[in-house]
Amino acid sequence: MARARAHRASSRPPAPRSRGTRRLAALVIAALAAVTLVASPAAPAVAAPLNVTESFTGTSVADPAWRTLGAACLTRATVAPHAGQSGVGVCASRTGAPASAATPGSLQLTDNTVNSSGGIVYDTPLPVSGGLDVRFDQFQYGQGTNGNEGIAFFLADGSRPVAQIGGGAGSLGYAQTTARAGIDGAYLGVGLDSGGSFSVAADGRGTGCAQVAPGSRPNAVALRGAGQGGTGYCYLSGSGLGTSRQLHAALPSSSNAAPPGTAGRTIRVQVSNAALPVVTVSYGASAGLPDAQLAVVHQYTMTTSPPASVKLGFTATTGTLTDTHLIQNVRIASVAPTSGVLQLTKTLDPAFAQASYAEGQDVRYRFSITAPQLLSVINDVQVADPLVPSVQCSANAFLLAGTITCTGAHRVTAQEAMQGSLVNTAVASGQPVLSSRLSSNADSVSVPITRPSPLLALTKVGTLTDTNVNGVADAGERIAYSFIARNSGNVTLQGVAVTDPRVTGVAPATATLAPGASQTFTSTAYTVTAADVAAGTPISNTATVTGRTLAGQEAPAALSTVTTPVRAAGAITLTKDASLVGGSVPGATVTYTLRATNTGGAAMTGVTIADPLAGLSAMAYTWPGTAGTLAVGASVTATATYSVKQSDVDAGQIANTATASGTLSGGTVVQGSASRTLALARTATLDFTKTASPSNVIAAGDIVTYGFLVRNTGTTTLTGVGVADPRPGVSALTYTWPQTAGTLAPGHVVTATARYSATAADVQAGSIVNTATATATTSAGATVTRTASATVTAVPDPVADAATTAQGTAVVIDVLANDGRAATGAAFSRAQLSATPKLIGGASGPVPTAPASGSVTCVDSGTERGRCTYSPILGFTGVDVFDYALSSSVDTWNVRVTVTVTPVNRTPVARPDRLVATTGGATVTIDPRANDTDPAGDALAITSAPQPAALRGTLTCAAALCTYVPPTDGWTGSVVVTYSITDRPAAPATGITATSTLTVHVDPAPLTSRGFTDRADTSLGVSTGTWAGTSSITTATASCVAGRPVTGLAWAAAPGATDWVVERRLDGTTPGAWTTVARLAGTATSFSDDRLGESRSYQWRVRPDLQRWLGVASAPSIAVAQPAAFSAAGC
């Protein structure tokens, strides 16, 4: 960073020489020196130092770079500043601020008035390459001990003008509010925040920030980051200063004297020259302290790089609550010059690193100082760390390039324990032999601080001086109390105090306890009073311990109570016993024995024993003397009897309490009670049975009636008695109760019935198995359950059979295989077994039907029982039936068997076909099945007709039709296509396939007539056989000109012709290729050809196409020759 930037002084108008002028000249010289250092290869680059000072204690400020913002002024100024000086002038308001005659003077940012704001900016860009070290004295004072609002030190982008102060009140003139923008080009704001609002996200402060501000933190150092206008200025970090370090001083608000130095605080803000600068804030308890007496109170590493240069300044605000805010003795300097010769790396010592640190724990650091390129010997190598008082190094000089390792530790203080983290920065330095002392880069380490968890514990002890050794407190005896307070948290607590409402003189008054420490408190002894004894209750005493952290956070109060028993003036004690005769059953006898004793200090009369148990007999007393009177220590015995009830057995016990009472001489009635619970043995059991009628069903819809019986076989009454049958279809139960519905006394029985209609699924399953559950609740609240099941068998009807066989083929049918339980143990026969059988599947009865178109034989017994062989009559196809009979103890049946005889399939006959098309002509369709036949008369379907590669155009075939699209490229010729047909297309798996051919003829396109409108033709009859002759055309005539040759053709009709094809070729020794001239209807018998060339001889032929769609071969071609004579007329 030092090598990348150099400070450039800005030009200003001439001014009288002053400390500011001399400072500016020093800056220019230093900057030039820095440039020289950078350029020199023999010396490392060193940042140019800064040295700006201004006390603000006089009547004017010489350096014009200081420019006011808002209401800032000089307290000693009495006249306006001269030309060339700073514009800081006379104060317009001095409420609670120094008068002009008060010395020393100060820069007044605000006086003690509400809603005031003021500031000052050093309006010259300062380089950050060497870091910044800014020291000043600040004064915040007013009436009272608590501060209000505060002062902010800020850095802003040196390239931007700082024209106005930021938001008021808690924004401290740095950050924004909803009504006012923040400092222009802001980079860093250090709030010396007495009031605590700089850490609060309110009034628009920190708009657009992701990090949430922690809330009000009075008397704290708080950092806010970069911002512009109404956005940013986000809260970065902060530390409370505790009670021992105060930013605010209490001075009379009416005072116009200069504040004493003790009311001020020395503040030092250091910004390192790292790429992400470390901000260190130090604090001094009064104004004007040297650096050695300042303590680091906060460190933070910025997360954004600074601008190349900055402007710095101070702002302050008041709100509805006010303080006076002053600044004195500002000094601006660079941090120690750094050099690349020494490089420092600071880390936690890995051997002792922790996840976080609490008060009193040591943070151990390791420092690695490296000299990678040593130009000369470096002596007196040291590490300066403000938090580590003693750094131990492996060496103190570099003789050669290398690394020196140092270690040191810092113990977390009580004040640091109140922060969220602990950040500190170290710098190494050394003394080269031939140059000035060098410093390394600054390096920082931040460690998390364990969150403060204040916690107190209190133990209280009370010691009775028991003069009569009776173990209880009597009037006049004393109780000495002591209290042990322990800090059970992780942070030091101050103001630890014990309060006890019953005693005085608690000592010590307060204590400060480190974590884990204890303090014993004592008090004056407590004297037991007659009222304590008369109250008759123990003396209860509760103490409370309180305390707070150094940051003022209250620890939760802890309580401790001690109870001391006192002697009672009168007391009676009662004991009670019981014996049972006759067992735990209704009517058994219980005898109670009770004994009342006077355990007080005085005789009592009117002694009685009362027992509210209903049904208890009267008490029979045995008195020691006079009835109703008991002397001290005397006892009376009483007995009573009780007869056990069913409700007692249900409860499982007899519990009751008796009370003895007596009257003291003063009329006070004292009582004592005794309870006795006599346990009674009890049982809670059920018997549950279930029946079903009938025991068998044979068909869906048969009704089953279920019966249920529940009996209480225990000794206690059962309630909530009920039966649940979960089977779907079972009707609601109908109960017959002996007494109250749902209740069964011991030995009582309840019955119930329900109906169920058997389903087809039940019959198919073979049985209906059904389980019901009886439930009841015992007198103890437990549930008793019992289950019972009933099974109804179901015999389903046998099932009709069906079989299929081919024509003329016998088939074996196992007719009993699907009859299930109906066939088990039943008689089987083809003959009649019953006069009234159930007819299954359409069977006849009572005599089973025999087959009409075949014969059948069945096996009646043995392992082949039920296997029937059916043989159809030869040549029969269709459906035949026969019946068989079954008889069992359940029912009898005649069952139908259906046999389907299917015909045998035969191969179809496929015949050749031909298709004629014209190249480029219309699409042609053909049904190749038209001349194909099937011996069985089955339907036929085309199943395959792949197009050969030699066939141009497109041939596609569906089940009943083939479609051919001729080519358009002029191709002609004949190609054979193989096609396949299959019979029984509706049942492809049973069909038989045959194949044949389809010959596709593609003819040339016919010539187009040119349309002569007037012609005279010479005709020649057509005959079969050889060509008749040729003709020569010698005169050349143009098309559509008179004399163009025309040849007329005529022929006899040919029966069966579907169309005619007229073809022509050149005549000669080697005739030319045939060219299709025209395609005519089958009824045509003539045609005129006018497409002839001259000086040429031609031949014609006419081809009839006879029944081509039926695949019948065509007749021979019929030829015709050109006539010898011809004539033609013009167009």
Number of domains in the chain: 7
Q: Provide the CB-side half-sphere exposure for 575 (13 A, CA).
A: 8
Q: Do 965 and 1023 share a structural domain? A: no
**Within a domain: residue 153?**
yes
Confidence of residue 1090 (pLDDT cuts 50, 70, 90): low
Q: Provide the CB-side half-sphere exposure for 121 (13 A, CA).
A: 27
Q: Which DSSP state fits 27?
A: H
- Locate the DSSP E strands across 89-240: 107-110, 117-127, 132-142, 150-157, 186-193, 220-224, 227-228, 231-232, 235-240
The Cα–Cα gap between 874 and 807 comes to 7
Residues in contact with 801: Cβ distance below 8 Å, sequence separation at least 6, in sequence order: 813, 815, 818, 841, 895, 896, 897, 898
Domain final residue, candidates 313, 333, 353? 333
Q: Which of 89, 72, 189, 122 is nearest to 331 (CA)?
A: 122
Dihedral angle sign, alpha carbons of residues 22, 24, 28, 31: positive
3 state SS of 36: helix
* Average pLDDT score, the chain: 84
| 289, pLDDT greater than 80 | yes
* Number of CB atoms found within 10 A of residue 799's CB: 17
Mean pLDDT, rounded, for 599-612: 86
Q: Do 235 and 88 share a structural domain? A: yes
Q: Among 540-549, 670-679, 1064-1073, 1117-1126, which stretch is predicted with the lowest mean pLDDT?
A: 1117-1126
> What would the pLDDT profile of 632-645 be if each residue is shown by its tens digit?
789 999 999 999 99
- Amino acid identity for residue 576 in this structure: K
Mean pLDDT, rounded, for 210-224: 92
- Amino acid identity for residue 982 in this structure: T
Confidence of residue 475 (pLDDT cuts 50, 70, 90): confident
Domain final residue, candidates 333, 363, 388? 333
Q: Among 265-274, 653-662, 870-879, which stretch is predicted with the lowest mean pLDDT?
A: 870-879
Is 691:792 a contact under the CB 8 Å cutoff?
A: no
**Bridge partners, 757 (sequence order):** 703
| 28, pLDDT greater than 50 | no
Say what the pLDDT of residue 50 is: 65
Say what the pLDDT of residue 1016 is: 33
Confidence of residue 1003 (pLDDT cuts 50, 70, 90): confident
Say what the pLDDT of residue 1130 is: 28
The Cα–Cα gap between 140 and 44 comes to 44
The Cα–Cα gap between 926 and 948 comes to 17
Q: Do 258 and 226 share a structural domain? A: yes
**Within a domain: residue 28?**
yes
Say what the pLDDT of residue 339 is: 58
| 1066, pLDDT greater than 80 | no
The highest-confidence range among 24-33, 1038-1047, 1116-1125, by mean pLDDT, is 1038-1047
The pairing of beta strand 1019-1020 with beta strand 1047-1050: parallel
Instruction: Enter the tokens of residue 869.
Output: 């062989």
Say what the pLDDT of residue 179 is: 94
Q: Do 224 and 201 share a structural domain? A: yes
Mean pLDDT, rounded, for 350-370: 88
Q: Do 63 and 199 share a structural domain? A: yes
Q: When comparing pLDDT for 16 and 795, which is higher?
A: 795
The Cα–Cα gap between 630 and 430 comes to 101
CATH number at residue 819: 2.60.40
Q: Do 146 and 278 share a structural domain? A: yes
Instruction: Enter the tokens of residue 506.
Output: 């608690």
Q: 550-554: which pairs have CB atoms within 8 A and are 24 or more residues apart?
A: 550/242, 550/243, 550/244, 550/414, 550/415, 550/417, 550/418, 550/491, 550/492, 550/494, 551/240, 551/242, 551/243, 551/418, 551/452, 552/242, 552/243, 553/418, 553/452, 553/454, 554/454
The Cα–Cα gap between 375 and 379 comes to 13
**Within a domain: residue 547?**
no
Say what the pLDDT of residue 337 is: 52
Q: Do 152 and 290 share a structural domain? A: yes
CATH number at residue 660: 2.60.40.1510
Mean pLDDT, rounded, for 444-463: 88
Is 811:864 a contact under the CB 8 Å cutoff?
A: no
Share of the chain above pLDDT 70, in %: 86
Q: Do 938 and 865 share a structural domain? A: no
CA torsion, ordered 602, 608, 612, 617, to nearest 10 deg: 150
Confidence of residue 1054 (pLDDT cuts 50, 70, 90): low
Q: Do 248 and 103 share a structural domain? A: yes
The highest-confidence range among 368-377, 503-512, 1057-1066, by mean pLDDT, is 503-512
Please, is 481 exposed, middle or buried when counting C-beta atoms within 10 Å of its C-beta (0-12, 13-18, 19+)?
buried
Q: Which DSSP state fits 199?
A: G
The Cα–Cα gap between 149 and 777 comes to 75
Say what the pLDDT of residue 350 is: 82
Say what the pLDDT of residue 813 is: 97
Say what the pLDDT of residue 633 is: 81
Confidence of residue 786 (pLDDT cuts 50, 70, 90): very high
**Within a domain: residue 559?**
no
Residue that the structure tokens 């109570």 belong to: 561
* Helices and strands in the chain: count of H runs, count of E runs: 4, 70
Residues in contact with 372: Cβ distance below 8 Å, sequence separation at least 6, in sequence order: 343, 401
Q: Among 116-120, 176-180, 396-400, which stretch is predicted with the lowest mean pLDDT?
A: 396-400
> What would the pLDDT profile of 843-896 be if each residue is shown by its tens digit?
999 999 999 999 999 999 999 999 999 999 876 889 999 999 999 887 899 999
> What would the pLDDT profile of 572-587 be if each residue is shown by its tens digit?
999 999 999 999 889 9
Mean pLDDT, rounded, for 39-65: 67
| 899, pLDDT greater than 50 | yes
Confidence of residue 1081 (pLDDT cuts 50, 70, 90): confident
Dihedral angle sign, alpha carbons of residues 549, 552, 553, 559: positive
**Domain extent for 998:** 913-1003
Whole-angstrom CA distances from 391 to 387, 406, 431 are: 10, 6, 18
Mean pLDDT, rounded, for 4-9: 31
3 state SS of 28: helix
CA torsion, ordered 960, 965, 966, 968, to nearest 10 deg: -170
Say what the pLDDT of residue 1107 is: 37
Say what the pLDDT of residue 470 is: 79
Say what the pLDDT of residue 406 is: 94
| 18, pLDDT greater than 50 | no
CATH number at residue 1073: 2.60.40.10
Domain final residue, candidates 751, 778, 794? 794
Q: Do 271 and 150 share a structural domain? A: yes
**Within a domain: residue 505?**
no
Label residue 368 left, alpha or beta by phi (over 0 means left) and psi (-120 to 50 means alpha): beta
What's the distance, CA 1000 to chain centroid?
A: 72
Say what the pLDDT of residue 536 is: 65
**Within a domain: residue 128?**
yes
Q: When comparing pLDDT for 127 and 647, which is higher?
A: 647
**Within a domain: residue 486?**
no
Say what the pLDDT of residue 191 is: 98
Say what the pLDDT of residue 22 is: 34
Q: Which DSSP state fits 990?
A: G
* Number of CB atoms found within 10 A of residue 384's CB: 15
Mean pLDDT, rounded, for 208-235: 94
What's the distance, CA 524 to chain centroid?
A: 62
Confidence of residue 184 (pLDDT cuts 50, 70, 90): very high
Max Cα separation, the chain? Answer: 182
The three-point CA angle 1042-1046-1052 to 5° equals 150
Q: When comparing pLDDT for 165 and 931, which is higher?
A: 165
Q: Do 248 and 109 share a structural domain? A: yes
Q: Do 815 and 777 share a structural domain? A: no
> What would the pLDDT profile of 935-972 be if each residue is shown by its tens digit?
777 899 999 999 999 999 999 999 999 999 999 998 98
**Within a domain: residue 528?**
no
The Cα–Cα gap between 807 and 876 comes to 6
Is 177:206 a contact under the CB 8 Å cutoff?
A: no
Is 149:175 a contact under the CB 8 Å cutoff?
A: no
Q: Among 259-273, 490-504, 1009-1023, which stretch is predicted with the lowest mean pLDDT?
A: 1009-1023
Q: Among 119-133, 232-246, 1087-1101, which stretch is predicted with the lowest mean pLDDT?
A: 1087-1101
